[in-house]
Amino acid sequence: MSLEDLLSEYKRGSRQGLAEEKRRVLEEHVRQLQLSGIASTVLKVGSKAPNFALLDHRGDEWELAAALACGPVVLKFYRGTWCPYCNIELRAYQLKLTEIRQRGAAFVAISPEKPDFSQAFIAKEQIEFPVLTDSMNVVAQQFGLVFVVDEALQQLMREFGNSLPEKNGDFSWTLPLPGTFVISSGGRIEYSFAEPDFTIRADPGEVLAVLDNL
């Protein structure tokens, strides 16, 4: 199944068992993000990717400039491993990791989540790419992805056991749009995908096609 099919299947199943009031909160959240114009702030194709350095899940420093010196980089910003859509997406990219590396590229995932939460997912799913912690969404902000979670969604997330102050270690209640960027070795963004609807993600096939054309 494609990533789109997997996400659609999960969405259908999860929404069926969700109370109408909670479905409305999720739908209104997406609608407000779409109206906010945040999609226009995301770095576009042709932009220069800002350099950054973050610690990975092992505590080692990962720097974009150093990775680009070895070839293209695929950056995957995700909300956290508490998000089932993010987990489905990360699994899909893990399955394509060999193909990404065969094209001379590196793949790295970034979220504001504290390492102790992401490490459990990494071990369970046998994730082989670096997973970086972007505390306070500093790097995600540079890519134009960050928004503040509205109060209705904050309450719903607490009910689901996904309080961001606990997960991320700060009280900002900010998240990144799930964004995917392909960056060429010269630092130019060659592919940019970020959708206010968190159930929609960049297909690995599109990323591979971009890498094929570099």
Q: Where are the domains of the chain?
A: 3-212
Average pLDDT over residues 205-214: 97
User: In this predicted structure, what is the pLDDT of residue 106?
Assistant: 98
pTM, rounded to two decimals:
0.96
- List, in order, residues 6 or more apart from 55 with CB less than 8 Å away: 61, 62, 115, 132, 133
pLDDT in the model for residue 206: 97
**Residue 1 pLDDT level (bands cut at 50, 70, 90):** confident
- Please state which of the ranges 57-61, 142-146, 189-193, 194-198 shows the lowest mean pLDDT: 57-61
Predicted confidence (pLDDT) at residue 172 exceeds the cutoff of 90: yes
d(CA 137, CA 134): 5
Average pLDDT of the chain is 96
CATH number of 3-212: 3.40.30.10
Q: How far apart are CA 81 and CA 122, in angstroms?
A: 9
Distance of alpha carbon 123 from alpha carbon 125, whole angstroms: 6
> Distance (Å, rounded) from C-alpha 139 to C-alpha 25?
28
Q: 7-37: per-residue pLDDT in tens?
A: 999 999 998 878 999 999 999 999 999 999 9
